């Protein structure tokens, strides 16, 4: 599933081709995604996309009359192609631009979404989100305060989008390892010093993943629309039973909240 760094790299990839362009038409081949695509989204036709931003894992295509909200779900991807390119299977939405290009959305599993919010309206999917992890608002004071009285284990705590957005499973594993904190610790039991370290590592891991994706991103005209995870840089995720890169003890693999969890019982306390 695309996580925050992959979505941010998608934004970086499509923005130069989409921002400032007029939408000639929107073609919807299959409106039945995670939620039905609303008919109101046709208001984007004839409008200039003023900018492309990201909130959590949502991409926002802003216009003077409202905003198209795109979520990649588990298998969605975006590509910039010539407007006349014939559709393939699972190509559900085309945003055709006056430039002669189009933004094409492909989603085999259809767990993604295309939504619409009128101007000055905040769509309900964005209303209860926590702060962005790379923004100044997400700091040790904030996270420590939120952790007080929480019996939830720290891995689930930092993956809660009401607490902070975009810390998905891969990067939660990696940040906790770098911070030397067991994923099974109750959030309320973390010291202020541990929280300070964890916040720093969350920011570092996500920023590095975005940097890696941005460096390897060539051109969304020719790419497959699926920026890769920075798998070559992972320290623990997917490496259960292998030697810990810090102390050589075998890495543990368990499930927390039905999600695969990897950690070192010797280094992460």
Mode of pairing for the β-strands spanning 101-106 and 23-28: unpaired
pLDDT in tens, 140-181: 999 999 999 999 999 999 999 999 999 999 999 999 999 999
Domain contains 133: no
Domain contains 134: no
Positive or negative torsion for Cα 21, 25, 27, 33 = positive
pLDDT tops 90 at residue 137: yes
pLDDT in tens, 52-98: 999 999 999 999 999 999 999 988 889 999 999 999 999 999 999 99
Q: Is 79 annotated as a binding residue?
A: no
3 is catalytic: yes
Cα 204 to chain centroid distance, Å, stands at 16
Final residue belonging to a domain, choices 99, 126, 153: 126
CB contact at 8 A, 70 and 105: yes
pLDDT in tens, 174-226: 999 999 999 999 999 999 999 999 999 999 999 998 888 755 555 555 555 66
- Same structural domain, 165 and 235: yes
Domain contains 135: no
- Same structural domain, 176 and 206: yes
Which one is catalytic: 11, 54, 57, 104? 57
CB contact at 8 A, 187 and 154: yes
Q: Which domain holds residue 97?
A: 4-126
Residues 173 and 155: their CA atoms lie apart, in Å, by 8
Q: Is 109 annotated as a binding residue?
A: yes
- Same structural domain, 108 and 216: no
Task: Please report the pLDDT score of residue 6 as a whole number.
Answer: 86
- Same structural domain, 89 and 145: no
- Same structural domain, 159 and 201: yes
2 is catalytic: yes
- Same structural domain, 150 and 245: yes
pTM, 2 dp: 0.90
- Same structural domain, 158 and 109: no
Can you give the CATH number for the domain in which 20 is found? 3.20.190.10
Domain count, the chain: 2
- Same structural domain, 100 and 148: no
Q: Is 90 annotated as a binding residue?
A: yes
- Same structural domain, 15 and 75: yes
- Same structural domain, 44 and 67: yes
pLDDT in tens, 230-263: 556 789 999 999 999 999 999 999 999 999 999 9
């Amino acid at each position: 599933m695309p996580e925050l760094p992959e979505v941010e790299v998608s934004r970086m990839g499509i923005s130069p081709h989409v921002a400032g362009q007029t939408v000639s038409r929107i073609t919807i081949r299959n409106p039945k995604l995670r939620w039905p695509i609303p008919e109101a989204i046709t208001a984007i036709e004839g409008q200039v996309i003023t900018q492309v931003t990201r909130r959590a894992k949502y991409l926002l295509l802003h216009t003077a009359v409202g905003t198209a909200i795109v979520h990649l779900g588990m298998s969605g991807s975006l590509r910039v192609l010539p407007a006349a390119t014939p559709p393939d299977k699972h190509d559900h939405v085309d945003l055709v631009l006056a430039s002669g290009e189009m933004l094409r959305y492909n989603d085999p599993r259809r767990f993604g979404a295309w939504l619409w919010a009128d101007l000055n309206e905040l769509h309900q999917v964005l209303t209860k989100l926590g702060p962005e992890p790379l923004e100044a608002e997400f700091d040790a004071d904030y996270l420590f305060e939120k952790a007080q009285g929480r019996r939830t284990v720290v891995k689930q705590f930092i993956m809660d989008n009401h607490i902070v957005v975009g810390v998905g499973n891969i990067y939660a594993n990696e940040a906790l390892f770098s911070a030397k904190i067991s994923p099974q610790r109750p959030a309320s039991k973390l010291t202020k010093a541990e929280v300070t370290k964890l916040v720093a590592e969350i920011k570092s891991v996500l920023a590095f993943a975005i940097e890696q994706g941005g460096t390897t991103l060539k051109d969304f005209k020719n790419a497959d629309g699926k920026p890769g995870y920075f798998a070559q840089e992972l320290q623990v995720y997917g490496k259960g039973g292998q030697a810990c890169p810090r102390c050589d003890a075998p890495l543990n693999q368990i499930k927390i909240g039905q999600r695969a969890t990897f950690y070192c019982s010797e280094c992460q306390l």
